[in-house]
Structure 1
Amino acid sequence: MAAATAMTAMLASGEAAALGAPEGSGRAAPRREFRGMWAATVVNVDWPSRPGLAPERQRAELVALFDAAVARRLNAVLLQIRPTADAFWPSRYEPWSEYLTGTQGRSPGWDPLAFAVREAHKRRLELHGWFNPYRIANHTDPGRLVPAHPARVHPEWVVRYGGKLYYNPGLPEVRRFVQDAILDAVWRYDLDGVHFDDYFYPYPVAGQTFDDTAAWQRHGHGFPDRAAWRRDNIDRLIRETGRRIKQRKRHVRFGVSPFAVWRNRSTDPRGSDTRAGVQTYDDLYADTRTWVREGWIDYIVPQCYWHIGFPAADYARLVPWWAETVRGTGVQLYIGEALYRAGDPAQPAPWQDAAELSRHLTLARKHPEVLGNVYFSAKNVVADPIGAMARVVRDHYPHRARPPR
């Protein structure tokens, strides 16, 4: 705990030295703006730092991340609490996550989600529960799951693909179960939001087939092809989840952070001026544009993880496309930012410049539809190796802001 407190203190003191008059945007920072960070728990990306830590160490690490968010003048944490069909709370549906104790199903001896909600709200941070809908495991052996795991009780729900196990989105009973498992946390805790990431049908793996033929034959009648049926399956998940949230807790907001390219313009004239190798509509069967246009979600956070000028998917072309897409819908737009690329020696030259991320916000703020930004991920908010996050704070966050409503 002492180490975590010292880290937070150093971050806060360094931040104070870095802050000055706001630069870059050319206008005053808004008083309401979504400033979030993703905190990933899958394979212990951000928290806990490793499985099996003592509860007091886990709590100290989480508090340190929240304190870092406050020091960076953020106002929301998107905390992954269901990374692989498991739970960071005592779920009625799924086992305790192995990323807490090192053993799936073993209680950590405390309630991480209750603690997270309380500590986030104490710091005036919104806490959005981040859920991965269909991923069961990062391996293909059901025998490694606890015996009572739903995927072992219902092996007919499971598809092996790309070295992982997934629930089959084409089964209505799976869709209902996934919603029930997620909403268990929503009903029992004071979450501010429900958040899905970019994983729906899995990203394509060369030479492999996602085998949902039996489900397609059983449930695909009336669709022109399997792709249309798959998109409808995901549409139903989004539409039904949003409706069920609002029926019980109207104040809880529902958002998605998709891969940023819906479709390339060369594929569809309504698409973005990009040449991306993946298109969510065609490859993940996630019709993100329709979700916005129909108002099935409250906010969207496209992962615009490329630098300004990147030929295949230019940040400066994607942001205006998303601004136009949300215009007039009532769906709020926040931009997902690749903080993790800043200073990574494997990344191209623009990411070696500490000012690249600040330029992103300058560009985004030229579009009134953009109401904030979310940074991946929490450990990069803390470490900030080349000062890219500190530069964002100096240039754009002269004071804390409240999230938009």
Structure 2
Amino acid sequence: MTSLHCTRRHTCALAATGLLLIVSSVGAPAMAAGFADFSGLWINRYEYNGDSVSSIRSRIENAASLGITDVMWQVRGRADAYYDSEHEPWAQGLSESVDPLQVAIDAAHDNGIKLHAWMNTMPLWNSSQLPSDGDHPIYNDDPSFRVTDYYGDLEPSDGYSGSSYARVNHLLPEVHDHINDVVRDLSENYDVDGVHLDYIRWMGPTSSSQGYRPDWYYLPHDDYSHDLFFQATGLDGSSFSNATAYRDWNQSRITDLVASVKQTVDAAEVSTGRTIDLSAAVWNNPDTAEHDYLQDYRSWLEQELVDIAMPMLYLSSSNHDRLFDDYVSRITSIETDSRIVVGLGSYLHDEDGGGPELTVEELQGLYDAGLDGAAFYGYGSFFGTGSLGVARQEAVKDFYESIAPVLVGDYNSDGVVDGADFTVWRDSFTQVGEGLPADGNNDGCVCITDYHLWVQHYGETLADLIAAPAEAAGVPEPATWSLLALAGLVAARRGAARRG
């Protein structure tokens, strides 16, 4: 029996008798599955409003240069349309000569990016000056889409103090139907890869005297809403004694809306033959989301009412250390087969807010926690912010490069583990040094361990690894000739040793 050794921090040995080889099982380096499959970027309506076709395409191309896989492109801000809508008017001031959504979709697909139509769901308007277009949903009066509070007052058209938006009455089936019409229009008439719901929650005041829950007095209190509540529960929605039940029912109606949108998107998938993901931007803490904002996204995930939930962890250096790990722990405790992609507030990471270093630190934290990806708010934090934006671009690209999947055993880097890689290993066997192509475990030498890695991964391809990194791929046995070749190598070295 002959042993061959090479040493540099570790020792590797080969033992062989004749043509009989005993190959041990060697574990491959661990790799997180799928995190880089969703690298998202929000582009809001103010960032492209008025852009030419070339400028819109330039924004998408910039995203592609960053390695972005998914763009959330805002198409609805305040019950208006930044596209050719069948149900809502063009946004005020937006030229109808260019359909920015169609331009963005074409540019995204040309650059291998998925585009999600991002819509503000609950907002109805945000100005004391009402829309100039009489077809705007704020003018609906049978029934009114606007919220009437306990005192009989309509919510101001620019929202209650601190909210910035007036919102639709989320209790009404007519409102649900309208929002689903908008979603159907987007998903069937545009080649979008997803529909992204934002502001899908309570947006009105909360009350400290009511346990910092949504203020019961500012929930919808019109007669129609009370009738619907009575039909559902047999209770009187106008009585404060039923405040808890009324809040709970308000929350359930928001969940009902999400469920109905999911049905609409699923139906569009069938009718168009395309995959269309339903995603939702949600509050950073699932417990706060449910308690303060009537947004029970824990149940949305558990029931798979959304394909992707995107908790918004918008933190800076002033609160990152206190909150980040806690929020991530709460989010990862949710059991679901849907994806959870966390939104990072990179716009807060300025020179005083942690800079690009904090952006990457948070990316690393999400990756280590096993989450399904990250998205950045927003476009302006990378482009148009001078040297800080450029530094953030480079830092983020370096991070994703560091976690890129590595096809173990692919010693000639052609994307396939095959006989050619054995040749590279054979020709460099026992070499010692840094960066050796056949040093599969990066221990500084080309050893028998690296052969074991080649055997273990024989037949795998980089394309398969990227497509299904979490699956334990069945590895076919290496060709008989390669085993014989290894035995021949051993025999040749044995003969050389004897002659020496």
Aligned to 2:106: 118
Name the CA distance, whole Å, in 2 between partners of 1:121 and 1:99. Answer: 27
1:291 Cα shift? Answer: 0.4
Of stretches 126-135 and 29-38 in structure 1, the one that deviates more from structure 2 is 29-38
User: Do 1:281 and 1:288's aligned partners in 2 also have CA atoms closer than 8 Å?
Assistant: yes
- The answer to whether the aligner puts 1:352 opposite 2:354 as a matched pair is yes
Q: Helix, strand or coil for the counterpart of 1:84?
A: coil
Aligned to 1:394: 398
Matched residue type, 1:261: N
Aligned to 1:295: 304
1:63 Cα shift? Answer: 1.4
Q: Helix, strand or coil for the counterpart of 2:144?
A: helix
- Any unmatched runs of 5+ in structure 1? 1-25, 102-107, 264-278, 346-350
Name the CA distance, whole Å, in 2 between partners of 1:312 and 1:357. Answer: 13
User: Do 1:304 and 1:335's aligned partners in 2 also have CA atoms closer than 8 Å?
Assistant: yes
Aligned to 2:54: 60
Match of 1:260 among 268, 271, 284: 284
Query: What is the 5 A alignment of 1:277-356?
Result: 279-307=288-316, 310=319, 314-325=323-334, 327=335, 329-343=336-350, 345=352, 351-356=353-358
1:114 Cα shift? Answer: 1.6
- Any unmatched runs of 5+ in structure 2? 1-29, 148-154, 209-214, 236-243, 406-465, 470-500
Aligned to 1:213: 221
Aligned to 1:248: 268
1:254 Cα shift? Answer: 0.4
Q: Helix, strand or coil for the counterpart of 1:301?
A: strand
Identity of aligned residues (%): 19
**Residues 361 and 283 (structure 1 numbering): CA distance in 2 closer, same or farther, change over 3 Å?**
same
User: Do 1:32 and 1:404's aligned partners in 2 also have CA atoms closer than 8 Å?
Assistant: no
Aligned to 1:153: 140
User: Do 1:73 and 1:399's aligned partners in 2 also have CA atoms closer than 8 Å?
Assistant: no
Aligned to 1:37: 41
Matched residue type, 2:85: S
Q: Helix, strand or coil for the counterpart of 2:373?
A: strand
- The answer to whether the aligner puts 1:377 opposite 2:386 as a matched pair is no
User: Do 2:286 and 2:330's aligned partners in 1 also have CA atoms closer than 8 Å?
Assistant: no
**Higher RCO, 1 or 2 (CA under 8 Å, sep at least 6)?**
1
Match of 1:96 among 90, 97, 100: 90
Aligned to 2:487: none
1:377 Cα shift? Answer: 0.7
Alignment size in residue pairs: 340
Q: Helix, strand or coil for the counterpart of 1:129?
A: strand
**Residues 383 and 397 (structure 1 numbering): CA distance in 2 closer, same or farther, change over 3 Å?**
farther
**Residues 205 and 64 (structure 1 numbering): CA distance in 2 closer, same or farther, change over 3 Å?**
farther
Matched residue type, 1:362: Q
Q: Helix, strand or coil for the counterpart of 2:382?
A: helix
Matched residue type, 1:180: D
**Residues 229 and 367 (structure 1 numbering): CA distance in 2 closer, same or farther, change over 3 Å?**
same
What's the TM-score, normalizing by structure 1?
Answer: 0.76
User: Do 1:34 and 1:403's aligned partners in 2 also have CA atoms closer than 8 Å?
Assistant: no
Matched residue type, 1:394: D
- Post-superposition CA distance 1:134-185 (Å, at most 9, x none): 211112444x341122321327211323153321101111111111122211
1:308 Cα shift? Answer: 7.1
Considering only aligned residues, what root-mean-square deviation do their CA atoms show, in Å? 2.8
Q: Helix, strand or coil for the counterpart of 2:71?
A: strand
User: Do 2:73 and 2:115's aligned partners in 1 also have CA atoms closer than 8 Å?
Assistant: yes
1:360 Cα shift? Answer: 1.0
Matched residue type, 2:115: L
User: Do 2:183 and 2:265's aligned partners in 1 also have CA atoms closer than 8 Å?
Assistant: no
Aligned to 2:80: 86
Q: Helix, strand or coil for the counterpart of 1:354?
A: helix
Q: Helix, strand or coil for the counterpart of 1:157?
A: coil
1:27 Cα shift? Answer: 5.7
**Residues 115 and 400 (structure 1 numbering): CA distance in 2 closer, same or farther, change over 3 Å?**
farther
Of stretches 111-120 and 235-244 in structure 1, the one that deviates more from structure 2 is 111-120
Q: Helix, strand or coil for the counterpart of 2:83?
A: coil
Name the CA distance, whole Å, in 2 between partners of 1:403 and 1:116. Answer: 25
User: Do 2:123 and 2:199's aligned partners in 1 also have CA atoms closer than 8 Å?
Assistant: no
Matched residue type, 2:280: V
